[in-house]
Amino acid sequence: MNMQILEDIKPLFQQLEESEYFGDEKLRKSLSIKIYRHLKNAAEELMLTTDKYIDAANIFLTCSEFIQEYNFLEAVIVLEKAIEMLKITAGRARESGDYKLAGSIYKMIADIFREKFNDMLTAVKYFKRSKASSILYLETSKKKGYSNIYTQYYNLAELSYHACQWDDVDKYCHLTMQEAEGEKKYFMIAMAYKLLLQAYARKNDRKSIIETFLEARKFFMEVLEGLTISSKIRNYMEIADVYHVFASFYDIMRDLEGFNNISLKEAYCYMNVANQYEHVDDLLTSAIYFHGAGLVFKRIEKIKDALDAFLTAADKFELMEIFDSSADNYIQAGDCFELEGNYHESIKMNIKAARMYQESGFLELGIQTLYKTLNLVEMVDTEYETIESLRETILTLLMELIEEHVQSMEGREGAYPLVEIAFLLFKEQGFQYCHPFLKQALDTFKANLSLDPDINIANCSDLAAIIIISIILERVGDMKKYLSLLQQECQKMPAGRKYHAFIHMINHAWNQGKEIPAEIQKSRLIFNIPVLKWLTLILIHRMNS
């Protein structure tokens, strides 16, 4: 999509995110329609230039996603415009002899009918057109002596699969294998066998599935066993790719033992590649392949091997100061320890990951990691002092990250993480610890209250948050002032009235010294908006105590 178009509607996307956060369906609908109109206008302008038809079609496709929920007929109209643009472009490409482009566009049209309209009959028609253009491109390629003909045969096999032309799937898969074997492209042979197996599964042809599986297994066992040591060393990556597809044969056959055995060989290939790059001091590539090996080991539950691979990768990424990738691997290692029931080590890995995210500036990921880690603390089978020490370490680091995160944020959004940490500290350590964060959140909300008419629901939510914090901190003056502002704001649209009713009940209970009514505690408004939920729970505990 054109970058200028995205720049122009960027504020609308930001408001749309807010409307989804606050559960404001009316505003979400209004903004979706506005974005749809902007995009539609841009696409219609591009339609005026014949060489921009594909760009216009892509924007029309995006349009349909924004309007479909609210006006299905309009979504169909713009999809039809996209299809028309693509059909014209495909026809022109075919006329000019650009069969490759024509084939790819016809496939795109087929995908629209299949995925957007669930119209397989029409989709098959365009898959056949794509296939016809691809055959012409294949003939041209052969005449010109192009290499990689096997990729074109495989593309035709896939198109035949989508068009339910099973005999052609068989034909083009075997042609793929024949061409690929001549060039020793074993990965493509593996892909062709996999597609054949999927086609036979679609036809429920059990006899052909078994025969093809046995044929594929025999072929690859002979190929892999026939490789010299030096050849294996040179081609570990391609061998790993072959093993990855080969494992899927066993998956189709529902043979778990076979799947695990082949996947294990795939993982060892990754380890060999990683070690090769380590020997030539290419730490980055080595770390990437150690991570890949860890994922495969973890998938087949070889947890000790997975741990070794993830920790090796984490160390290498940290040494290169690629801290976010190091964090990802520490989290994977933490998951492995958790799978083994070693929660203490899992917590250590997650704390390391959070520190790595802090180093790389990915503060939100660090915060999320620490929240997850707090839940693990309760599962640690150790003495009370150790549990408290772990909790203290996590909370201290969590406060560091949230304070950094607040400083990096602009406007009212800076108040949200402050309320979040206030609630966490209140729950873990009591009111006196959360008091400073509530005060800072209150000041942030007040300083950034704009009462912009375009974000009425966000204004109501912020005013409600200010009033609840004022009640908790016993700031009567603030409470009265913002209660009056909320009353004015809630009159602007019907959705705002539920905020006024919610705050009125809270204020009444506070003034009367009574408990918060049960209907407030169960209110959908509260639990759809995290900030109001956290503040209400703090208030309930304060009032009950």
- Average confidence (pLDDT) over 24-38: 83
Residue 519 has pLDDT above 60, yes or no: yes
> What CA–CA distance (Å, rounded) separates 535 from 471?
10
Nearest residue to 4 via CA among 32, 33, 45, 34: 45
Residue 24 has pLDDT above 70, yes or no: no
Instruction: Write out pLDDT tens, residues 160-174.
Output: 998 888 999 999 999
Judged on CB neighbours under 10 Å (0-12, 13-18, 19+), 132 is middle
Query: Which pLDDT score, from 0 to 100, does residue 360 have?
Result: 83
Phi, psi (deg, nearest 5) at residue 255: -110, 90
Asked if residue 220 lies in contact with residue 190, where contact means CB atoms within 8 angstroms, the answer is yes
Residue 64 has pLDDT above 80, yes or no: yes
Query: Which pLDDT score, from 0 to 100, does residue 142 have?
Result: 76
> What CA–CA distance (Å, rounded) separates 270 from 376?
32
Query: Which pLDDT score, from 0 to 100, does residue 311 have?
Result: 96
First to last CA, the chain: 56
State what percent of residues in the chain have pLDDT above 70: 84
Q: What's the whole-model pTM score?
A: 0.60
For residue 489, name the pLDDT band (cuts at 50, 70, 90). confident
Query: Which pLDDT score, from 0 to 100, does residue 146 have?
Result: 64
Nearest residue to 464 via CA among 422, 414, 419: 419
Residue 390 has pLDDT above 70, yes or no: no
- Average confidence (pLDDT) over 241-260: 73
- Average confidence (pLDDT) over 445-455: 74
Residue 526 has pLDDT above 70, yes or no: no
Question: How many whole angstroms from its chain centre is CA 335?
Answer: 19
Judged on CB neighbours under 10 Å (0-12, 13-18, 19+), 77 is middle
- Average confidence (pLDDT) over 358-377: 78
Residue 109 has pLDDT above 90, yes or no: yes
Nearest residue to 469 via CA among 502, 432, 490, 443: 443
> What CA–CA distance (Å, rounded) separates 119 from 113?
5
Secondary structure element (H or E) that encloses residue 395, with its range: helix 384-408
Asked if residue 152 lies in contact with residue 141, where contact means CB atoms within 8 angstroms, the answer is yes
- Average confidence (pLDDT) over 176-186: 85
Q: Which residue has the higher pLDDT, 218 or 363?
A: 218
Q: Which residue has the tokens 């178009």?
A: 5
Judged on CB neighbours under 10 Å (0-12, 13-18, 19+), 464 is buried
Judged on CB neighbours under 10 Å (0-12, 13-18, 19+), 74 is middle
Q: Which residue has the higher pLDDT, 139 or 521?
A: 139
Lowest mean pLDDT among 220-229, 256-265, 270-279, 314-323: 220-229
In the structure encoding, which two tokens stand for residue 221, read together? 């066992």
In the structure encoding, which two tokens stand for residue 287, read together? 């770390």
Number of C-beta neighbours around residue 22 at 10 A: 23
Query: Which pLDDT score, from 0 to 100, does residue 313 have?
Result: 95
Residue 467 has pLDDT above 70, yes or no: yes
Residue 293 has pLDDT above 60, yes or no: yes
State what percent of residues in the chain have pLDDT above 90: 19
Query: Which pLDDT score, from 0 to 100, does residue 145 have?
Result: 63
Q: Which residue has the higher pLDDT, 97 or 431?
A: 97
Residue 404 has pLDDT above 70, yes or no: yes
Query: Which pLDDT score, from 0 to 100, does residue 323 have?
Result: 92
Residue 237 has pLDDT above 80, yes or no: no
Query: Which pLDDT score, from 0 to 100, does residue 201 have?
Result: 86
> Would you say how long the chain is, in residues?
545
Q: Kindly report the average pLDDT of the chain as a whole number.
A: 82
Residue 309 has pLDDT above 90, yes or no: yes
> What CA–CA distance (Å, rounded) separates 198 from 526?
49
> What CA–CA distance (Å, rounded) separates 79 from 127?
18
> What CA–CA distance (Å, rounded) separates 191 from 154?
8
> What CA–CA distance (Å, rounded) separates 432 from 326?
36
Query: Which pLDDT score, from 0 to 100, does residue 304 have?
Result: 94
- Average confidence (pLDDT) over 13-38: 77
